[in-house]
């Protein structure tokens, strides 16, 4: 029997009360054989961690992680990516389907999950592709993947631009309460060469523009399809004020739509692109100040439901090109919580309970995990916990990342560096030394 007694932590629960829930506030937390137990039952053999001054949160969940395995193990593996996730406080990640081969079959999804179990740093839930090979022409094996527990499907990296195919996907997943997570990018308005927010800076730099309308119009179309099919739609990495307006309109109509925002879209702006540093090339692109303000407000008021990292590791030879030719994407797992604290908590836009809702409770609900993840800790549950020092800050050093890649947009910037312990599936998966 193993016992871990975390003494004196301030537990923030997200206010999501249910039977046997641990009380919020300062207390001791006992984890016995991986499950929460009454601290009064701790034995003399329990391993004790002094958590005085620390805060405990339900384990974080990332809805949007690129683990690159299989196919690009030079950029990331399931082991290295989940190790980085644990360092960032994540107890679970949803792994995007754009691997090589694509995760578009039940066998491929099961393989990803097995790799996660072997690594043991964070639970890995595969996201299935919507279409075979992400080609946008024919539905993938949605039903067979659902039989092994896959509930979220996405062609992320590609937009499901065919309205008929999108309708069929939404109709299909409704039978098992699945969700289609859309990369909203009209390919006719923002093609594969679009790499910078369309505006004064893209014109001055000579970079192909990515207009806000390319995102908002797809969200509006998909919202109508979600209404038509009475099915669940999730919008990936929302980046513009116009998209926020569409989300608010759709939610007001009772459409089953949820959305996520990335940490980098909450803090970085189009101005970062002016040095042509490909580290800041991301899809959708960084946007102007007014969009960042709208995204923060939407996350605060719930128009945007969750934070998701879009962690996108790349090998050096894929990033070290001229801006227009470099790969899209940046790292995010290890710094996500720090950026959210900096942009949303330290500015007074969120309180701690709402932060827990956006980083754990809502992601678990959207993904349909149906487990001990994404809910308030309760006696008897498997422990999923993130223990943090909310006052701790540090300059980010890309060289210290657990990821195999180094495309870190935060290198050299001082941010909250709060994660002290991550407990995933009942076991300590990260502990700061």
User: What is the Cα–Cα distance from 263 to 157, expressed in whole angstroms?
Assistant: 18
Same-domain pairing of 131 and 175: yes
Choosing from 325, 342, 367, the residue where a domain stops is 367
Band of the pLDDT at 398, cuts 50, 70, 90?
very high
Band of the pLDDT at 388, cuts 50, 70, 90?
very high
Sign of the four-CA dihedral 312, 316, 321, 325: negative
Q: Would 283 be classed as within a structural domain? A: yes
> 156 among the known binding-site residues?
yes
Same-domain pairing of 397 and 318: no
Model confidence pLDDT, tens digit, residues 113-150: 999 999 999 999 999 999 999 999 999 999 999 999 99
Model confidence pLDDT, tens digit, residues 309-363: 999 999 999 999 999 999 999 999 999 999 999 999 999 999 999 999 999 999 9
Band of the pLDDT at 16, cuts 50, 70, 90?
confident
Q: Would 373 be classed as within a structural domain? A: no
Choosing from 367, 401, 419, the residue where a domain stops is 367
- Judge whether 17 and 353 are in contact, CB under 8 Å: no
User: What is the Cα–Cα distance from 296 to 292, expressed in whole angstroms?
Assistant: 6
Q: Would 18 be classed as within a structural domain? A: yes
Same-domain pairing of 73 and 169: yes
Choosing from 367, 389, 418, the residue where a domain stops is 367
- Catalytic residue list contains 62: no
What pLDDT, on the 0 to 100 scale, is given for residue 254? Answer: 98
What pLDDT, on the 0 to 100 scale, is given for residue 19? Answer: 80
pLDDT at 371 over 80: no
What pLDDT, on the 0 to 100 scale, is given for residue 15? Answer: 87
> 329 among the known binding-site residues?
yes
Q: Would 376 be classed as within a structural domain? A: no
What pLDDT, on the 0 to 100 scale, is given for residue 1? Answer: 77
Q: Would 374 be classed as within a structural domain? A: no
Catalytic residue among 62, 310, 318, 417: 310
> 265 among the known binding-site residues?
no
Model confidence pLDDT, tens digit, residues 262-305: 999 999 999 999 999 999 999 999 999 999 999 999 999 999 99
Q: Would 34 be classed as within a structural domain? A: yes
Assigned token pair, 286: 């960084």
Band of the pLDDT at 238, cuts 50, 70, 90?
very high
> 234 among the known binding-site residues?
no
Quick one: what percent of the chain has pLDDT higher than 70? 100
- Judge whether 296 and 262 are in contact, CB under 8 Å: no
Burial tier of 14 (Cβ tally within 10 Å: 0-12, 13-18, 19+): buried
What pLDDT, on the 0 to 100 scale, is given for residue 358? Answer: 98
What is the domain-level CATH number for residue 398? Answer: 2.30.40.10
Model confidence pLDDT, tens digit, residues 27-58: 999 999 999 999 999 999 999 999 999 999 99
Same-domain pairing of 316 and 418: no
> Look-up: residue for tokens 């101005």?
271
Same-domain pairing of 395 and 340: no
User: What is the Cα–Cα distance from 271 to 20, expressed in whole angstroms?
Assistant: 49
> 310 among the known binding-site residues?
yes
Q: Would 172 be classed as within a structural domain? A: yes
| Full residue range of the structural domain in which residue 168 is found | 59-367
Same-domain pairing of 51 and 69: no
> 67 among the known binding-site residues?
yes
Band of the pLDDT at 18, cuts 50, 70, 90?
confident
Same-domain pairing of 14 and 162: no
> 411 among the known binding-site residues?
no
> 89 among the known binding-site residues?
no
pLDDT at 370 over 90: no
Same-domain pairing of 31 and 69: no
Average of per-residue pLDDT values in the chain:
97
What is the domain-level CATH number for residue 348? Answer: 3.20.20.140
What pLDDT, on the 0 to 100 scale, is given for residue 134? Answer: 98
What is the 3-state secondary structure of the chain? CCEEEEEEEEECCCCCCCCCECCCEEEEEEEECCEEECHHHCCCCCEEEECCCCEEEECEEEEEECCCCCCCCCCCCHHHHHHHHHHCCEEEEEECCCCCCCCCCHHHHHHHHHHHHHHCCCEEEECECCEHHHCCCCECCHHHHHHCCCCEECCCCCCCCCHHHHHHHHHHHHCCCCEEEECCCCCCCCCCCCCEECCHHHHHHCCCEECCHHHHHHHHHHHHHHHHHCCEEEECCCCCHHHHHHHHHHHHCCCCEEEEECHHHHHCCHHHHHHCCHHHCCCCCCCCHHHHHHHHHHHHHCCCCEECCCECCCCHHHHCCCHHHCCCCECCCCCHHHHHHHHHHCCCCCCHHHHHHHHHHHHHHHHCCCCCCCCCCECCCECCEEEECCCCEEECCHHHCCCCCCCCCCCCCEEECCEEEEEECCEEEEECC
Sort residue 333 into left (φ over 0), alpha (ψ -120 to 50) or beta. alpha
Q: How many domains does the chain have?
A: 2
Same-domain pairing of 170 and 231: yes
> 247 among the known binding-site residues?
no
Q: What is the pTM of this model?
A: 0.98
User: What is the Cα–Cα distance from 224 to 166, expressed in whole angstroms?
Assistant: 11
Closest CA to 228 of 256, 259, 264: 256
Q: Would 169 be classed as within a structural domain? A: yes
């Amino acid at each position: 029997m193993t016992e871990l007694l975390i003494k004196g932590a301030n537990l923030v629960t997200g206010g999501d009360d249910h039977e046997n829930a641990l009380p919020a506030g300062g207390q001791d937390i006992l984890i016995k054989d991986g499950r929460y137990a009454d601290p009064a039952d701790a034995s003399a053999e329990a391993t004790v961690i002094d958590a005085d001054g620390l805060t405990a949160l339900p384990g974080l969940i990332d809805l949007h992680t690129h683990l690159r395995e299989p196919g690009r193990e030079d950029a990331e593996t399931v082991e290295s990516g989940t190790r980085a996730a644990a360092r960032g406080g994540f107890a679970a990640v949803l792994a995007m389907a754009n691997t090589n081969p694509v995760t578009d079959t039940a066998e491929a999804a099961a393989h990803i999950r097995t790799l996660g179990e072997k690594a043991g740093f964070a639970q890995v839930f595969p996201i299935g592709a919507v279409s075979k090979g992400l080609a946008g022409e024919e539905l993938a094996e949605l039903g067979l993947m659902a039989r092994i527990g896959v509930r979220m499907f996405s062609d992320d990296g590609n937009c499901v631009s065919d309205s008929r195919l999108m309708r069929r996907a939404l109709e299909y997943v409704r039978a098992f309460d699945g969700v289609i997570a859309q990369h909203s990018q009209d390919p006719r308005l923002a093609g594969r060469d679009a790499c910078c927010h369309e505006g004064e800076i893209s014109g001055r730099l000579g970079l192909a523009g990515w207009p806000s309308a390319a995102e908002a119009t797809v969200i509006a179309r998909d919202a109508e399809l979600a209404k038509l099919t009475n099915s669940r739609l999730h919008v990936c990495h929302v980046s513009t004020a116009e998209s926020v307006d569409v989300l608010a309109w759709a939610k007001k109509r009772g459409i089953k739509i949820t959305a996520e925002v990335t940490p980098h879209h909450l803090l970085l702006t189009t101005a970062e692109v002016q040095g042509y540093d490909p580290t800041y090339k991301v899809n959708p692109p960084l946007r102007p100040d007014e969009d960042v303000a709208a995204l923060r407000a939407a996350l605060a008021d719930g128009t945007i439901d969750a934070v998701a990292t879009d962690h996108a590791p790349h090998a050096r030879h894929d990033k070290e090109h001229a801006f227009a030719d470099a790969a899209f994407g940046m790292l995010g797992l290890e710094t996500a919580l720090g950026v959210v604290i900096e942009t949303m908590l330290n500015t007074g836009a969120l309180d701690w309970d709402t932060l827990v809702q956006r980083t754990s409770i809502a992601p678990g609900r959207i993904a349909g995990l149906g487990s001990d993840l994404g809910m308030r800790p309760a006696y008897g549950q498997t422990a999923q916990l993130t223990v943090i020092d909310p006052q701790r800050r540090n300059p980010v050093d890309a060289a210290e990342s657990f990821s195999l890649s180094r495309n870190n947009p935060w290198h050299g910037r001082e941010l909250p560096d709060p994660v002290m312990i991550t407990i995933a599936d009942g076991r300590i998966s990260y502990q700061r030394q």
